[in-house]
Chain A
Amino acid sequence: MKKRIPLILIFVAGLLGVISFVIPHPSYQVYDAWIRNDLLRVLSAFAVVLALGSLLRVHSDKIRRKRRNWQYSWLLLIAFAVSAIIGLFGGVAADGILPTTIGSFSYDIQTLYENIVIPLASSMFALLAFFMASAAYRAFRVRSMEATLLLVAAFIVMIGVLPLGYSISKHLPAFVQWILNVPNVAGQRGIVLGIALGVVATSLKIILGIERAWLGGGE
């Protein structure tokens, strides 16, 4: 029964989704709209609660049992509490019941976001440049014909996408555009077609209950 109910639900939901694509009549679409606009929103809200609960539980547990690096869990819980309180009570435009300025120092949610979240995320993303350099240096060796072709194409595209490329030759950016629009797209289309069919097949397997890994293990 534990497995049967979700399987029945997934079958019915899958079928309803396919039917809504075929039938535009409002007497059917009104149910589809209710599922999409109302039910999905409620489910999303519950998922958020689930995530927050799980996060708090894991880190509280870590602190209680003094597991390795438990001090960082305190950091997480404090940051969680502070941003939640400021976000909930400080207001969107610093117009909530909680004061969010001390003199000229403001700590409303927008300021926290701009000065903490954005720089942290941007810094991590900036690491990509360094990782790309070391990965390219390590991996782009002329070991075979295909590797040589890849290297030459990479060089052409890397120069062509720069303003420098246009200075070298007026035709270089257009050639790069051709590489990106034709061979690149051709290769991608093959993979995309395969992926699309894979999604159709896997979705069909899930709807029909053949694929059950998502249920949580077991046959």
Chain B
Amino acid sequence: MKIYERLNKIDRRIIYAILFVVVTLPLIFPSVLKVTPMTPVENLFTAVDKTTDDKALILDCSYAPQIKAEVEPMAIAVLRHAFKTRKKILVLSLYVEMIGLATRALNQVVEEFNSVAETYEDSIIYGRDYVFLGWQPPPIVPMLGMGESISNIYVVDYYGNQTDTLLMMQRIRNYNDISILVALSGSRIPISWVSYAQNRYGLQVGVGCTAVSGADFYPYYQTGQFTGLMVGMKGAAEYEELVEANHGVKGRRVASEAMLSLTYAHLIIMLFIVIGNIGFFLHRRKK
């Protein structure tokens, strides 16, 4: 086979093998790549930071297991941000298959903080600092219902406690007591939050999403319907950077560690595209 034919028709298995090596090596030998936070992420960070003591923020962990790698670092970064700055936070999921992931992120960050807390005040206490509302189908019910009363929609929380008996919920009654809702998702759920909660109740919405669905959300960020936007692994790395730089939170930065893999993967794909085009040109010339 002539060289241009080889370049034009590289076996996909060779592409997969090279990509596998290039992506895996930096993960086996991880190092944190510093990123420069961009404006959409900074806006989200600032909005969360501005949450006052009389309000809470809601974290909607509606990301499926397949996008956990991209979106879970966002959940962890936002939770670290909230706990470090003592912002009250409500966590929920709109679908049952995502509850496990929300639990995982919560447990991890609570454990991180409580393992170094020396006093009761320093600790992260359930009911005082955070509440895990759980899941309430179908999604439209909590989206609209929480505008009237959060406790009416989530009568009991995920652990079976009466929601209105929890300390935090004495003051956090509905969207008026929520500064911002951060929706983490790989689908169109954030747009539903805008359609229902923001349209009717004026709720501020911030988004964390996969890189693939990020393109869908830029129009909404541009119009101000999304206060801020974290897109993909890089968005997560930027938020991690902001949380560490502004509040000194130390913890494993999974997204930042993956930046090197991401860089090499992009470069290798670009290389294959160039090789393919060289073969294409040579082939055309021969003809």
The answer to whether A and B touch directly, with their CB atoms under 8 angstroms apart, is yes
Task: Indicate whether A41 sits within 8 Å of B138 (C-beta atoms), given known contacts A185-B219, A188-B215.
Answer: yes
> Which residues 263-278 of B sit at the A interface, judged by CB distance below 8 A?
263, 265-270, 272-273, 275-277
Task: Indicate whether A142 sits within 8 Å of B280 (C-beta atoms), given known contacts A36-B144, A41-B138, A121-B66.
Answer: yes
Task: Decide: B273 and A162 in contact? CB cutoff 8 A.
Answer: no
> Which residues 242-265 of B sit at the A interface, judged by CB distance below 8 A?
259, 262-263, 265
Majority secondary structure, A binding face: helix
Cβ of A110 within 8 Å of any chain B Cβ, yes or no, is yes
Cβ of B30 within 8 Å of any chain A Cβ, yes or no, is no
Task: Decide: B265 and A129 in contact? CB cutoff 8 A.
Answer: yes
Contact for A181 among B16, B145, B218, B270, CB less than 8 A: B218
Contact for B100 among A110, A129, A130, A141, CB less than 8 A: A110
Cβ of B203 within 8 Å of any chain A Cβ, yes or no, is no
Minimum distance in angstroms from A7 CB to a CB of chain B: 24
Most chain A CB atoms below 10 A, which of B38, B40, B268: B38
Contact for A130 among B15, B263, B270, CB less than 8 A: B15
Per-residue contact bits, chain A 112-135, to B (CB 8 Å; 1 contact, 0 not): 011001101110111011101110
Most chain B CB atoms below 10 A, which of A118, A120, A137, A141: A137
Task: Indicate whether A162 sits within 8 Å of B219 (C-beta atoms), given known contacts A41-B138, A92-B158, A173-B38.
Answer: no
Cβ of A140 within 8 Å of any chain B Cβ, yes or no, is yes
Residue of A nearest to B17 (CB): A130
Q: Chain B contacts of A189 at CB under 8 A?
A: 219
Residue of A nearest to B281 (CB): A142
Cβ of B33 within 8 Å of any chain A Cβ, yes or no, is yes
Contact for B266 among A117, A162, A185, CB less than 8 A: A162
> Which residues 91-115 of A sit at the B interface, judged by CB distance below 8 A?
92-93, 109-110, 113-114
Minimum distance in angstroms from A35 CB to a CB of chain B: 11
Task: Decide: B16 and A133 in contact? CB cutoff 8 A.
Answer: yes
Q: Chain A contacts of B101 at CB under 8 A?
A: 118
Cβ of A163 within 8 Å of any chain B Cβ, yes or no, is yes
Q: Can you report 30 A-B residue pairs in the complex whose CB atoms are below 8 A from each other?
A: A36-B145, A37-B145, A37-B153, A40-B138, A44-B137, A92-B160, A93-B159, A110-B100, A121-B64, A121-B65, A122-B69, A134-B15, A134-B16, A136-B269, A137-B10, A137-B12, A137-B272, A140-B276, A140-B277, A142-B280, A151-B277, A159-B266, A159-B270, A162-B263, A163-B35, A163-B259, A166-B36, A177-B40, A184-B215, A185-B219
Minimum distance in angstroms from A15 CB to a CB of chain B: 19
Cβ of A155 within 8 Å of any chain B Cβ, yes or no, is yes
Q: Chain A contacts of B66 at CB under 8 A?
A: 121-122, 124-125
Task: Indicate whether A137 sits within 8 Å of B36 (C-beta atoms), given known contacts A114-B100, A122-B66, A188-B219.
Answer: no
Q: Chain B contacts of A177 at CB under 8 A?
A: 38-40
Cβ of A12 within 8 Å of any chain B Cβ, yes or no, is no
Task: Decide: A180 and B215 in contact? CB cutoff 8 A.
Answer: yes
Minimum distance in angstroms from A6 CB to a CB of chain B: 20
Minimum distance in angstroms from B65 CB to a CB of chain A: 4
Contact for A163 among B33, B69, B153, B267, CB less than 8 A: B33
Task: Decide: B34 and A163 in contact? CB cutoff 8 A.
Answer: yes
Majority secondary structure, B binding face: helix
Please tell me the number of chain B residues within 8 Å of chain A, measured between CB atoms: 62
Cβ of B174 within 8 Å of any chain A Cβ, yes or no, is no
Cβ of B84 within 8 Å of any chain A Cβ, yes or no, is no
**In the A-B complex, the 10 residue pairs with the closest CB atoms:** A125-B66, A121-B65, A121-B66, A113-B100, A118-B65, A137-B272, A134-B12, A130-B16, A141-B280, A158-B266
Q: Chain B contacts of A40 at CB under 8 A?
A: 138, 140-141
Cβ of B167 within 8 Å of any chain A Cβ, yes or no, is no
Task: Decide: A155 and B270 in contact? CB cutoff 8 A.
Answer: yes
Residue of B nearest to A177 (CB): B38
* Assembled-state Cα–Cα distance A141/B272 (Å): 11
Q: Chain B contacts of A166 at CB under 8 A?
A: 35-36
Per-residue contact bits, chain B 228-240, to A (CB 8 Å; 1 contact, 0 not): 0000101000000
Minimum distance in angstroms from A155 CB to a CB of chain B: 6
Please name 14 further chain A to chain B contacts, defined as beta carbons within 8 Å, in addition to the given A92-B158, A117-B100, sorted by A numbering.
A45-B137, A118-B68, A130-B20, A133-B19, A133-B265, A133-B268, A137-B275, A140-B277, A151-B277, A155-B270, A155-B273, A162-B259, A180-B215, A192-B219
Q: Chain B contacts of A130 at CB under 8 A?
A: 15-16, 19-20
Minimum distance in angstroms from A16 CB to a CB of chain B: 15
